[in-house]
Structure 1
Amino acid sequence: MREPLTSLQNPRAKRAVRLRDRRSRDREGCFIIEGFRELRRAVQSRLPLEEVFFCRQFFLGENEPRLVADAVENCAATAVETGEGVFRKISYRDRPDGLLAIAAKPNWSLERLEVAGNGPPMILVAQAIEKPGNLGTLLRTCDAAGVTGVMVVDSCTDIFNPNVVRASVGSLFTVPIIETTSEEAMRWLVERKIMTVATSPDAKIDYSAADLTGPLALVVGSEQYGLDEGWLSKTDTLVRIPMAGSADSLNVAVANAVVLFEAVRQRRISAHREGLDS
């Protein structure tokens, strides 16, 4: 068995630190996945992994070494044991759990989105989202709601930012997600006759009164500026989320969750009624 990696000057350790930076990720075509839950999702999705760094001093039980073995067996990863000092150096978390992997960035395109599955498609279009934490939370919510896929358009943040991976709790690897432009996204949605819906405080329709049972794309915009005029002017249906207090808006990830799960609720009721009628 190899001795744990203990030198902070080791090229492998220095590379892992370097991949925190977007320019390095873009140049090398790789990104990092840190954390047990995040790595487990990646392994379950059979995401190809280059290396898995692990530090036994941070392990809580038997699940962590088992996951390292699974990553080696199922994702072609090379396991690299480190000492505590090296792992603290390569980790970007205040409380590391002893697992960090390097993966090649997947090349995801529009062809990845399949809308011919069971039931009408439900897609999220996230335009110009600026904060990695919000983008990750959007992905996690989409996973929970069972969306068909996510389009990240006019991106202002790297979808492979470590904080996107962390906030998504690995949903980045389970939800079909692609990066494209607004123009390409609009054309793709129109060609497939998918209705676009967006929230606006000036909308006349309450989100719960809108029919969200058909093919649907929920479009959300930047935290600071909201959707741009190009989307607002071409969106099929604008809905509002009523505010009972003094706040006049919700965080983009929260608003997304409200509307998506209303769509889920409506679809369940519709499916139940169809079952009774058949």
Structure 2
Amino acid sequence: MPAVDALALTSVANRRVKDLVRLRTRRARDELGVTLVEGHDELRLALRAGVVPRTLYWAPGLVSAERRGVVDELADAGVPVVGVSDAVFAKIAYRESPDGLLAVADAPGRPLAGLDLPPDAVVLVGEGIEKPGNLGAMLRTAEAFGVAAVVAASPVTDFGNPNVVRASKGTVFAVPVAAAPSADVLAWLRAHRLAVVVTTPQGDAPIGATDLTGPVAIVVGAESSGVTDLWLDAADARVVIPMRGRVNSLNAATAAALALYEAERQRS
């Protein structure tokens, strides 16, 4: 077994440490085509999805004995494993209460043309989603319901954002994902003959009265402004999620979860 206990990085001023910190920015991630996966559970799910990290950084002083196995597993598989001091890990970590595990991996996502859809596909489209926490939560829900793909249309945040990886609990690696301008996404959906169902407070019918049993794309808009006119004009159905409260808007992730649940209910 390769030796992994030696501390290769002990200074927060080390150039490699600074490069890792830079990966919190989208520009740096896009330049290298990578993302950061921090945390044992997120890393385990990514590994189960077939992710092979480029490098694993770990702090022996922070990793509990029961979680040491993932370090040895990756070292045995030939993944470079770099031991760091607790101070260095505190510098490179982006989570609160870090557990001492941080991997650099290829960024999730593929071109739209690379998505393979089954005949009865459910695709979740998020247009202009701004908050990494919402996009991550949408991915968790999509994975739970077996959605064929999650597509970010004209995205504000990227799938490789470390906070998306964290909020998704690593499911961003388990669900096929892609990002493209809204017009390209709409053309792709039409080419695959998916019904376009747009959620909007100004919907024409309740979502429960809309047929979601065939191949369908459920479109959820940005938190601040909802879907754009492009989607409203192109929609095969504009649906509303019935609410009794005085506030007629839902968190984007919650709206997606309710819509996907309804699709699953109808199909079951």
- What band does the TM-score fall into relative to the shorter chain? over 0.9
Larger mean Cα displacement after TM superposition, 206-215 or 26-35 = 26-35
Tell me which residue corresponds to 2:260: 260
Counterpart Cα distance in 2 of 1:69 and 1:184: 43
One-letter amino acid of the counterpart of residue 246, structure 2 = S
1:220 deviates by: 0.9
- Equivalent residue of 2:134, what SS? helix
Counterpart Cα distance in 2 of 1:28 and 1:115: 29
- Equivalent residue of 1:202, what SS? coil
Within-5 A mapping of 1:18-33: 18-33=22-37
Counterpart Cα distance in 2 of 1:94 and 1:84: 14
Tell me which residue corresponds to 2:72: 69
Is the Cα–Cα contact under 8 Å of residues 112 and 176 in structure 1 kept in the other structure? no
- Superposition CA RMSD, Å: 1.6
Q: Write out per-residue CA displacement over residues 233-269 of structure 1, whole angstroms, 9 at most, x where no aligned residue.
A: 101011111111222111010010001011011101x
Tell me which residue corresponds to 1:129: 129
* Aligned counterpart for 1:37 among listed residues 34, 41, 49: 41
Is the Cα–Cα contact under 8 Å of residues 43 and 70 in structure 1 kept in the other structure? no
1:106 deviates by: 4.8
- Equivalent residue of 1:126, what SS? strand
| Structure 1 consecutive aligned stretches of length 4 or more whose deviation exceeds 3 Å | none
Tell me which residue corresponds to 2:141: 141
1:67 deviates by: 1.2
Counterpart Cα distance in 1 of 2:142 and 2:109: 20
The count of corresponding residues between Structure 1 and Structure 2 is 264
Within-5 A mapping of 1:93-242: 93-106=95-108, 108-116=110-118, 120-242=120-242
Is the Cα–Cα contact under 8 Å of residues 53 and 81 in structure 1 kept in the other structure? yes
Counterpart Cα distance in 2 of 1:191 and 1:73: 45
Q: Write out per-residue CA displacement over residues 170-214 of structure 1, whole angstroms, 9 at most, x where no aligned residue.
A: 011000001112122111111221101111222231111111111
Is the Cα–Cα contact under 8 Å of residues 153 and 179 in structure 1 kept in the other structure? yes
Counterpart Cα distance in 1 of 2:151 and 2:238: 19
Counterpart Cα distance in 2 of 1:77 and 1:33: 14
* TM-score normalised by length of structure 2: 0.93
Distance 1:51 1:105, change over 3 A: same
1:71 deviates by: 2.8
Distance 1:106 1:135, change over 3 A: closer
Is the Cα–Cα contact under 8 Å of residues 143 and 175 in structure 1 kept in the other structure? yes
1:132 deviates by: 1.0
Larger mean Cα displacement after TM superposition, 156-165 or 101-110 = 101-110
Is the Cα–Cα contact under 8 Å of residues 220 and 226 in structure 1 kept in the other structure? yes
1:107 deviates by: 5.8
Counterpart Cα distance in 1 of 2:267 and 2:207: 14
- Equivalent residue of 2:54, what SS? strand
- Equivalent residue of 2:61, what SS? helix
Q: Write out per-residue CA displacement over residues 23-75 of structure 1, whole angstroms, 9 at most, x where no aligned residue.
A: 2112222221111111111111221311111112222332x21112233345x
1:13 deviates by: 2.0
Q: Write out per-residue CA displacement over residues 130-155 of structure 1, whole angstroms, 9 at most, x where no aligned residue.
A: 11111111111111111000111111
